Amino acid sequence: MVATTLYLSLRTRYNEEIHLKVEMFLKTYGTSKPKRYTFSEVKRITRRFKVKLGQGGFGSVYREILVPNKMLDIALGIARGMEYLHQGCNQCILHFDIKPNNILLDYNFSPKISDFGLAKLCARDQSIVTLTAARGTMGYIAPELYSRNFGEISYKSDVYSFGMLVLEMVSGRRNSDPTIECQNEVYFPEWIYEQVTTRQDLALAREMTQEEKEKMRQLAIVALWCI
């Protein structure tokens, strides 16, 4: 009985110390501290802690499933960032490597375009650029970067990459997946187009309302326009 009481007392003290450390950690961020969620909210957005990503100093990290509204905000944020690069700067900046790995999210899930290692500067009134070799990552590179038979290279090459990125967001799968066995799903944009025209569910792994499914369908249509 004494041992049990001692154990519970030590455990309570330990939990209080952990809670105090977390509070002190959050205070260091001031007004920019990350958003806090209740246990029920975390349980819901991680789908009952289904996929564990790793272990940190303050606990385990689980994968969150983005809700459609949040995905829409992220897609709009990326589009605004690209518009600024193409039209808002003194010189037009063509990124040439828009892909998920180069999109960073802050505490509010606001997207930031990163990695300008392949970018090219040109005058704002210059609509066509010349490259000696293709730039970008396989699966996101616009066709005209491979062959001039598909057209001239311009800011639209970034728009193509953005379209492929958004298609991945709404479908929950990579645009190039070697594990895909069905021939109808090999060419990613065509598979998405088939899903949209037949009004099938795009994100099969997500539980969504009918309104959310319609939002994902509209987002997929915009992405297909980019391609």
* Residue boundaries of the structural domains of the chain: 2-62, 68-226
Question: Residue 205 has what pLDDT?
Answer: 55
Question: Residue 109 has what pLDDT?
Answer: 86
Fold classification of 68-226 is: Transferase(Phosphotransferase); domain 1 (1.10.510)
Do 109 and 72 contact (CB within 8 A), yes or no? Answer: no
Catalytic pick among 73, 97, 106, 115: 97
Do 166 and 222 contact (CB within 8 A), yes or no? Answer: yes
What is the C-alpha separation between 165 and 74, in angstroms, rounded?
11
Q: Averaged in consecutive runs of 10 residues, what is the pLDDT profile of the chain (227 residues)?
A: 59 70 71 70 72 72 76 95 93 93 89 94 84 85 86 91 92 72 64 83 69 87 93
Residue 60: strand pairing partners: 55
Question: Residue 46 has what pLDDT?
Answer: 73
In order of 52, 99, 150, 202, the CA distances from 56 in angstroms are 11, 27, 48, 33
Question: Residue 177 has what pLDDT?
Answer: 65
What is the C-alpha separation between 145 and 129, in angstroms, rounded?
11
Question: Residue 208 has what pLDDT?
Answer: 76
Task: For residue 97, indicate whether it is catalytic.
Answer: yes
Question: Residue 8 has what pLDDT?
Answer: 57
